[in-house]
Chain A
Amino acid sequence: MNDPISVSMVCMLAGKITLESGAETHRVEDTMNRIASAFGLEDAQSYATPTGINFSSGPAESTNFIRISNRSTDLHKIANVNDISRKITAGEVDLPGALKLLKEVDRAKLTFPGWMQIISAAFVSGSFAFMFGGTWLNYLPAFFIGGLGFAALIGCDRFINTRFISEFLASILIGLLAFISIYCGWGSDLNKIIIGAVMPLVPGLHITNAVRDLMAGHLIAGLSKGVEAFLTAFAIGAGVAVVIGII
């Protein structure tokens, strides 16, 4: 018989990793419930919001709580935890083994190093400038400005705790560089270059996730993700607007 406290530990670690990596709240709750019932806690209760997880091994048991302070997007970790939870439900892993595997996933570094993310952000920016109706003239400016903007975001994130400030500064840089490139006669359409370059920053995932969570009935998660998306969009818009306003 598994001891409920260790089962709760495993469930909460799994929930913490998936929530920090950007999974939807109903996926987090589902994973935790599956793991709990695989280890013999049939009546386990879980409740996840974007900022915290509640878990109790039964309706009348005491409740454990864990706070989620930093959220990023790391799909690889979600896939790994999903694999582990599949193994647990199939009975291939026991309780200490599961805890060990999850701790390894929690400690794992990003799959792709920062420089690779910056290069792909550059390609994304160039492609979006083209897809949204720009010409090839705008590809290269958007490519470089988008890469530099994303690099600025990663760099600012190391020193500034508030993510919105980093996004604000990165979009100021994007606006300035885009204006300079147009001023020097490099690139033809300011708006297309800026839209392409800010694409790696915009909260597209949050907007969609928020609506999905709202429609799935997770009202608190949906609202808070919507607010996060709104603040991010506001920071980006304000950053670019500062540049446009000054110039």
Chain B
Amino acid sequence: MIIIIVTQLITSFIAAAGFGIIFNAPRQSLIQCGLIGMLGWILYYWLVEQGMNVVPATVLAAMLVGALSQICAKLYKTPIIIFIVSGIIPLVPGGSAYDAMRHFVVNDYYTAVQLSTKVMLLSGGIAIGLMFSEVVNQLIIKLIRR
């Protein structure tokens, strides 16, 4: 079990930092991008292993990614989108989106519609998670300023 978790940690770090390079993120923020992606993915992976449904697991992981990205954006005075994009990539339902389209093309509409609905729910879950951490961030700023 520990070996699986460690390999998942390493591969998700590589995946998130690699996407940082594909998206031309600034050099000095690649490590942070990789770490945020890794932590978000490992939370998602652990929750799913514990038997949680993928949609709430995605929401919680996206909230973690959003919160960490807010902190990094404040610390390094960099736009938050840099950290969010690479951090969220492991959670994005790219695989399911591809799967859904493949089933549409081979006329298996029944599975395709099911998979598309799942893709919609998962991307909605990511958006909700990110927005929630943004709202919490704004609340904290307002409370500090008072």
Q: Are B101 and A127 in contact (CB under 8 A)?
A: no
Q: Contacts A82-B79, A245-B106: A195 and B95 contacting too (C-beta < 8 A)? A: yes
Q: Is A1 an interface residue when CB atoms closer than 8 A count as contact?
A: no
A164 to chain B, nearest CB (A): 12
Q: Are A237 and B100 in contact (CB under 8 A)?
A: yes
Q: Are A112 and B79 in contact (CB under 8 A)?
A: no
Chain A hits for B8, CB < 8 A: 131
A108–B46 alpha-carbon span in the complex (Å):
42
Q: Which of A42-50, A61-69, A94-102, A116-124 contacts B (4 or more CB under 8 A)?
A: A116-124
Q: Are A237 and B98 in contact (CB under 8 A)?
A: yes
Q: Is A202 an interface residue when CB atoms closer than 8 A count as contact?
A: yes
Chain A hits for B25, CB < 8 A: 75-76, 79, 111
Q: Are B18 and A121 in contact (CB under 8 A)?
A: yes
Q: Are A208 and B23 in contact (CB under 8 A)?
A: no
Q: Contacts A127-B14, A128-B15: A116 and B104 contacting too (C-beta < 8 A)? A: no
Q: Are B24 and A208 in contact (CB under 8 A)?
A: no
**B-side binding surface: helix, strand, loop or mixed?**
helix
Q: Are A78 and B15 in contact (CB under 8 A)?
A: no
B23 to chain A, nearest CB (A): 4
Q: Which of B76-103 contact A (CB under 8 A)?
A: 77-79, 81-82, 85, 88-90, 92-95, 97-102
Q: Mark A146-173, 1 if CB is under 8 A from B, else 0.
A: 0000100000000000000000000000
Q: Contacts A117-B21, A237-B100, A238-B101: A208 and B127 contacting too (C-beta < 8 A)? A: yes
A42–B105 alpha-carbon span in the complex (Å):
52
Partner of B26, one of A24, A75, A121, A199: A75
Of B11, B18, B77, B90, most A-chain CB atoms within 10 Å: B18
Which residue on B lies nearest to A133, using beta carbons?
Answer: B95
Q: Which of B96-135 contact A (CB under 8 A)?
A: 97-102, 104-106, 119, 123-124, 126-127, 130-131
Q: Are B92 and A204 in contact (CB under 8 A)?
A: yes
Chain A hits for B126, CB < 8 A: 208, 211
Q: Are A124 and B14 in contact (CB under 8 A)?
A: yes
Q: Are B82 and A212 in contact (CB under 8 A)?
A: no
A75–B81 alpha-carbon span in the complex (Å):
8
Of B82, B98, B119, most A-chain CB atoms within 10 Å: B98
A181–B124 alpha-carbon span in the complex (Å):
36
Q: Are A240 and B81 in contact (CB under 8 A)?
A: no
Q: Are B98 and A78 in contact (CB under 8 A)?
A: no
B15 to chain A, nearest CB (A): 4
A75–B76 alpha-carbon span in the complex (Å):
15
A138–B119 alpha-carbon span in the complex (Å):
25
A32–B51 alpha-carbon span in the complex (Å):
46
The 8 listed contacts between A and B (C-beta, < 8 Å) are A73-B24, A112-B21, A120-B21, A121-B18, A204-B89, A204-B92, A237-B98, A241-B102
Binding site for B on A (CB under 8 A): 22-24, 27, 73-79, 82-83, 86, 110-112, 116-117, 120-121, 123-124, 126-128, 130-132, 150, 194-195, 198-200, 202-205, 207-208, 210-212, 215, 229, 233-234, 236-238, 240-241, 244-245
